[in-house]
Amino acid sequence: MERCRWHMYIITVVGWFWLCSLTFAATIHVPENQPTIQSGIDAAENGDTVLVNDGIYTGEGNVNISFGGKQITVKSRNGAEATIIDCQETPNTRGFAFESKETHASVLNGFTIKNGVHDLGGGIYCHTASPTIQNCIITQNQGTVTRFRGQSAGGIYGTDTNVHITDCTVTQNQGCGVVFEGERVWTFNTLRSTILANCTISENTNSGVICQDLAPVTIKDCTVLQNGERGIVSTFFTRGVSVTNCRIEQNAGGGIECSEESFARIEDCIIKRNRAVHGGGIYCSPTSEIEVSGCIIAENIATETGGGIDVISTRGSATITHCTITQNTAHEKGGGIATFIEFSQFTLTNSIVWDNHTHGDYAEVSPGGRRVIIKSCDIRGGFAGMGREPDDEWFIYENNIDTNPRFINADAGDYRLKPDSPAALMGAHPPFGGVAAVTHKQKQLVTWAELKIN
């Protein structure tokens, strides 16, 4: 009986504190109650909302803004297009800096941040903090320090963070769009993961997204488009990068790269019309590993090897399954896929490799190196076009066909299969009726055929 009373007492106290937090949460209006965004934050307490009216905000108190570790929401009244933080290209000035151990309960919602100039993260900086950033436009900012493969972090920079970034646009920044770095020393905390979801990363002068130094990142439902270098890069011991249901298109340095002891899992993506020296669509370097499934890899160009995919592996591995790899071009060899495998393994299963091109050798697949396994695929020309005979040990080639897969309309970018396709159990299978490729700008259904960029 005494124990029941004690439990009821605890429940009552916890409920009272919860009710109080709801009852006394305040909304602070800027500029009505406080003149600047920073003064609004300074006046707020945990659970409060700082609501910012429409306008262009500049100068002291409206740039280099800090939450100070508070669990509050800083929100625009009418969205990012109506509420602009303009850093006016002033050196050492950015929109927000999160470096006071902010949590996901620290929410930034609905601002345009532009014209920032700073060493790491011209728009937003996160260090040992993990806020939630929603519905923001990060544009025309500049990173002034080049440290990421000779590139700078122009838009957003995060280190030792599991920030959640959703429904944002990061575009036209000088440097990379988004850079994530992990902790410089090894950690066993593998549950931490940064999330980049339903965002558009486009037209930045360097790479779209770079993940490095043990930074686990989940990238999903994003469009990574027309960046000056690779679309997405996983490098320097980054083992937990996942790219799902994304469009990676027209990036000048290639689609996706996995390099320097890293691992990436790539699922249900469209990787199209990218251009690189090696691996126009996907590049995997000698010490890294990739798993690719359910992807359309089409119309990419490599000026040397691997128009669609290039895997150079000394001790890593690569597994490709249920992918459609078509209309890619390599100038030297491997229009669809090029491999060089030394002490590891390349496996290709249940995929379609068809109508790829090269100015050199092996238009569809160039299976170089030691252990290469190809099973249950539809490959134009079969192994006769690979310059290598199966030997049941180092080059295994089983249950494959060489028959036109019968795409609905490849010329229009519709790589779905007709009902009578001989490759019905192979390749990527988009949902019936199209793919929901929605960004916070478009908010519309884009059919599979419409994903072809004209």
Whether 18 maps to a domain, the answer reads no
Q: What is the pLDDT of residues 22-78, one digit of tens each?
A: 457 899 999 999 999 999 999 999 999 999 999 999 999 999 999 999 999 999 999
Q: Which residue would you say has higher pLDDT here, 422 or 236?
A: 422
Least reliable range by pLDDT among 6-15, 116-125, 173-182 = 6-15
pLDDT digits (tens, 9 = 90+) for 302-337: 999 999 999 987 666 899 999 999 999 999 999 999
For residues 88-95, give the mean pLDDT: 97
The number of C-alpha atoms within 13 Å of 446 and in the hemisphere containing its C-beta is 17
Same domain, 103 and 191: yes
User: CA torsion, points 358, 250, 323, 371, in degrees to nearest 10?
Assistant: 50
Number of domain units in the chain: 2
Structural tokens at position 263:
């691992």
What domain range includes position 231? 25-244
Mean residue pLDDT of the chain comes to 87
Residues 6+ apart with CB under 8 A from 5: none
Q: What DSSP string runs through 69-81?
A: T---EEEESS-GG
100 and 187 in a single domain? The answer is: yes
Distances, alpha carbon 168 to alpha carbons 97, 155, 178, 266, in Å? 17, 11, 11, 21
User: 3-class secondary structure for 219-268?
Assistant: EECCEEECCCCCCEEEECCCCCEEEECCEEECCCCCCEEECCCCEEEEEC
Q: Looking at mean pLDDT, say which of 6-10, 19-23, 111-115, 213-217 comes out highest.
A: 111-115
pLDDT mean over 421-430? 89
The structure tokens listed for 195 are: 């999330």
> What's the rounded Cα separation, in Å, for the pair 413 and 427?
15
Residues, the chain: 454
> What pLDDT sits at residue 434?
35
Q: Is residue 17 part of a domain?
A: no
> Which comes out higher in pLDDT, residue 424 or 3?
424
Cβ neighbours, 10 Å, residue 349 = 19
Residues 318 and 213 in one domain: no
Residue 417 near residue 428, CB atoms below 8 Å = no
Residue 416 clears pLDDT 80, i.e. is over it: yes
Asked if residues 91 and 119 have their Cβ atoms less than 8 Å apart, the reply is no
345/203 same-domain check:
no
pLDDT at 149: 73
Residue 451 lies inside a defined structural domain of this protein = no
φ/ψ bin of 331: left (φ > 0), alpha (ψ from -120 to 50), beta (otherwise): alpha
Over range 144-164, report the average pLDDT: 87
* Structural domain contains residue 201: yes
Q: Residues 352, 403: one domain?
A: yes
| Mean pLDDT across 182-191 | 47
Start-to-end CA distance of the chain, whole Å, equals 75
Which token pair is 15?
A: 């409920």
pLDDT band of 133, cuts 50, 70, 90 = very high
Is residue 431 very low, low, confident or very high in pLDDT (cuts 50, 70, 90)? low
- Neighbouring C-beta atoms of residue 447, cutoff 10 Å: 13
Confidence of residue 192 (pLDDT cuts 50, 70, 90): low
Q: Is the pLDDT of residue 12 over 80?
A: no
Q: So what's the pLDDT on residue 381? A: 93
pLDDT for 238 equals 81
Q: Does residue 31 have a cis peptide bond before it, meaning omega lies within 30 degrees of 0?
A: yes
Establish if 439 belongs to a structural domain.
no
- Closest listed residue to residue 338, CA positions, set 365, 361, 363, 300: 365
Q: Are strands 407-409 and 414-417 parallel, antiparallel or unpaired?
A: antiparallel
Q: Give the pLDDT band of residue 130 (cuts 50, 70, 90).
A: very high
Say yes or no: 289 and 353 in one domain. Answer: yes
CATH code of residue 176: 2.160.20.10
Q: 184 with 42, same domain?
A: yes
pLDDT at position 363 over 80 = yes
In a shared domain, residues 209 and 330: no
8 part of a folded domain: no
Whether 300 has a pLDDT exceeding 50, the answer reads yes
449 assigned to some structural domain: no
**Burial class of residue 212 (count of CB atoms within 10 Å of its CB; 0-12, 13-18, 19+):** buried
- Segment 270-298 shows an average pLDDT of 95
Euclidean distance between CA atoms 232 and 218, whole angstroms: 12
Who's near 364: CB < 8 A, 6+ residues apart? 335, 336, 337, 353, 354, 356, 379, 380, 381, 385, 386
Contact criterion met (CB below 8 Å) for 226 and 248: no
Q: What is the DSSP letter of 7?
A: H
Residue 58 identity = T
Are 293 and 236 contained in the same domain? Answer: no
List pLDDT tens digits, range 250-274. 999 999 999 988 889 999 999 999 9
pTM of the model: 0.88
**Is residue 15 assigned to a domain?**
no
Quote the CA–CA distance of 51 and 33 in Å, as a whole number.
10
Q: Token pair of 425, please? A: 């159990």
CA separation for the pair 412, 410 (Å, rounded)? 5
Q: pLDDT digits over 135-150, tens only?
A: 999 999 999 988 777 7
What would the two tokens of residue 102 be?
């902010």
Q: What percent of the chain has pLDDT over 90?
A: 71
Is residue 215 scored above 90 in pLDDT? no
> Contact 293/318 with Cβ under 8 angstroms?
no
